[in-house]
Structure 1
Amino acid sequence: MVTIQDIANKSGVAISTVSRALADSPKISVKTKERIKKIAQDMGYTPNFAARNLTQRESNTVGVVFQPQAAGSAENDFAMQLLFGINSQLVARQYLLTTATGSNWSEVYNAVKMMVEAGQVRRFILLYTVENDPISELLRENNARVVVTGEPEQANDVLYVDNDNRRAGEEATRQLVDQFNLKAPLFVRTLADWRYE
């Protein structure tokens, strides 16, 4: 495994310079950063996220929180595709994904609490919105950065993605009807009680 010391030896600079260059510090010139990053890449260097997390007191992990799930919901391909999409964006930015779920709100809350306290996770995506949410309150108390899918139940400074599924379904149906001149569209769903379909 290639270390920062190996990169420093190869580039002829101090370990602190390599560390700052790899962290994109403004204290290091662009030319030096590019040279050090190129050497690191050529040597196959992989950042030690655990060490960086310890020094920053915050992990490079994003917690994705589901509302309680019924047994068998893992079979839902839409939920898996959602996680794959989120993960691909996180990996491109050198973040890890972890999920919190459970069969009831207490289990979900405890999973999130463990992420915050033991895992030092400070970035979250909530795949639900409910009124008077204790999980949102826990994250607010711990200065976590949160994105909610769906318009929040209470008006506050929450960053959210407006996923008006009903309107999206109407617009998609209208486009299909118009584009293909459909006369009798049919919506097929499973018998499973999935949160997403």
Structure 2
Amino acid sequence: MTATVKDVAKKAKVSPSTVSRVINDHPSISAETKQRVRKIMDDMGYFPNVTARNLGKQRANSLGVILPPLDSRERLGNPLYLELLNAVNATAAEFQVTTAVASADNSATLLENVIRMHRQKQVDGFILAYSEKDDPVSEYLFQNQVPFTLIGRPAKREADIIYVDNDNQLLGKQATEHLIEKGHKNILFASNVNQEVIFFERYFGYQEAMMLQSLPTHQPLTMLQPEDYVQFPEVIKATGATALVVIDDIFALRMIQLATLHGYKVPDDLSVISFNNSIFATLVHPYLTTIDIDISDLGRLGTQKLMEQIEQKQSSGVQLVVPHHLVQRETVRSI
């Protein structure tokens, strides 16, 4: 037979209301009483009805994780989001809440899903796993005062939005500096996105590193259309590039394939450095030289900051910078 609040109260020799206050961690109950009642709950195998408890608080007891529009195969297969979800789930479990995912293959449908989750009170708040210019989802969350934490730096309202991030401009700078230290002077920045804040920040970091060394900067090598891939060998030849800073690991593998197709060997002819240190970095040779951004820490901190908002422990914007480190492997050589 399942133990009830009354059973716990009887054995602990307290009132049922005291047991309820212990369950809700009410400050009016002493630490000694809480410890004693909780031990009895454990001994009796009693588990609080979290759903019923949160109905009283008008809480959904769930967090929403909003993935970026999955409008490309790279995004759809990016392990970064699975790592992030795993960290969010683990941290949410510590708060005794669950997670739900909002995803779609375009921004309009994604916004509809988020609005539905919010208005139907399916979640108490959201973790937004991306940051883009003119993003309708982040605008909706902000305008409707929905609790949310952003993974990444906001495109605007930095002082008002709670976010956790790496220093992506510093990442771009240090990746480029690593190539410069290896003797490279003609370096390109390559990306398959051009509206994400992360693109601007890492490209600015690339520009900063090159300018500080009085080296030529180049327009970003953005691969958005099929014709961009066709022009790749012409761009390499025209710039005399010996190295690429690539937006992330998955696209770096695509660039290595493209270079190989056109007769460039990595790293002998073209060095490559990227970001994220995902599982793809060591799936095929040459292993990728990449910068680890600690996505698990981003997910953990993002969840903690969202719970602080939901529990009304924090009301102003805050930036948390997660450390990163370079992982040297096989795609960069000295010249």
Letter aligned with residue 32 of structure 2: K
Once residues 135 and 81 of structure 1 are traced to their aligned partners in structure 2, the CA distance between those partners, rounded to angstroms, is 22
Question: Paired residue for 1:145?
Answer: 147
Contact 2:67 2:103 in 1 (8 A): yes
> Where do 1:173-188 residues align within 5 Å?
none
CA drift of 1:21 comes to 0.9
Change in 2 beyond 3 A, CA 1:110/1:22: same
Matched residue count = 191
Question: Paired residue for 2:79?
Answer: 77
Task: Select 1:191's aligned residue among 254, 258, 261.
Answer: 254
Pair 1:103-2:105 in alignment: yes
Percent identity, aligned pairs only, is 35
Unpaired runs of 5+ in structure 2? 185-242, 256-275, 279-335
Change in 2 beyond 3 A, CA 1:124/1:17: same
Once residues 88 and 118 of structure 1 are traced to their aligned partners in structure 2, the CA distance between those partners, rounded to angstroms, is 25
CA drift of 1:107 comes to 1.8
Contact 2:130 2:151 in 1 (8 A): yes
Q: Which moved more, 1:157-166 or 1:108-117?
A: 157-166
Letter aligned with residue 127 of structure 2: I
Pair 1:3-2:4 in alignment: yes
Letter aligned with residue 19 of structure 1: S
Question: Paired residue for 1:58?
Answer: 59
Once residues 89 and 172 of structure 1 are traced to their aligned partners in structure 2, the CA distance between those partners, rounded to angstroms, is 31
- Deviation per residue, 1:45-70 (Å, 9 max, x gap): 33322212211112221111112113
CA drift of 1:112 comes to 1.4
Task: Select 1:121's aligned residue among 114, 120, 123.
Answer: 123
Report the TM-score, using the length of structure 1 for normalisation: 0.79
CA-based RMSD:
3.1
Larger radius of gyration: 2
CA drift of 1:5 comes to 2.8
Change in 2 beyond 3 A, CA 1:77/1:128: closer
Contact 1:60 1:95 in 2 (8 A): yes
Question: Paired residue for 2:166?
Answer: 163
CA drift of 1:120 comes to 4.4
Change in 2 beyond 3 A, CA 1:71/1:45: farther
Q: Which moved more, 1:183-192 or 1:69-78?
A: 183-192
Letter aligned with residue 254 of structure 2: L
Unpaired runs of 5+ in structure 1? none
Contact 1:124 1:145 in 2 (8 A): yes
Once residues 23 and 191 of structure 1 are traced to their aligned partners in structure 2, the CA distance between those partners, rounded to angstroms, is 52
Question: Paired residue for 2:34?
Answer: 33
